[in-house]
Amino acid sequence: MISLHRLGHQAEEFHLNPDLIVTVEANPDTVITLTTGTKVVVAEPPDRVVEEIRSYRVEILSGALSRRRSEGQPQSHGVHARRAAQGMLLSIDRGESEGPSEDE
C-alpha cells in the first residue's frame, strides 16, 4: 500500500493499493482514477504519487527475488515470471522507463 493524503485533509493519512490505480492526473489538483471508476483527489503532486507507486513495486519485486534466492535452486515453473521481474528491476536500476516512450 502507498500512503497519501486527501486534498484538504493533510493531517489524515490514508493507504491506497497501487494496483487499483489507472491514471494519475494534474488538473490542477492531483486526481487518481481507480479501476472501479472512483476518483480520489490527493494533496501530493503527481510525481510523488508515481514515485510512491514505483517504490512500492520495486520493494515487492526485490522481496520476491530475495525470497527466491534464499530458498535455493528455483523450480522450473515460474522461470518466465522470474526473468521478467529481474528485467524490470534491472531497468529500474538503470533508470530506464517502464514501457515504451511517447515518442515511439
pTM of the model: 0.65
Domains contained in the chain, number: 1
- Is residue 100 assigned to a domain? no
> Can you give the pLDDT of all 104 residues of the chain as single tens digits?
999 999 999 899 999 999 999 999 998 999 999 999 999 999 999 999 999 999 999 999 999 888 888 887 555 556 666 666 666 666 665 665 555 545 54
Q: Which amino acid is at 84?
A: A
Report the pLDDT value the prediction gives residue 14, as an integer from 0 to 100: 96
Residue 64 is assigned to a structural domain of this protein: yes
Is 89 part of any domain?
yes
The domain in which residue 12 lies consists of 2-93
In a domain, 15, yes or no: yes
- pLDDT at site 89: 61
Please check whether residue 80 lies inside any domain of the structure.
yes
Within a domain: 98: no
Q: Is residue 99 part of a domain?
A: no
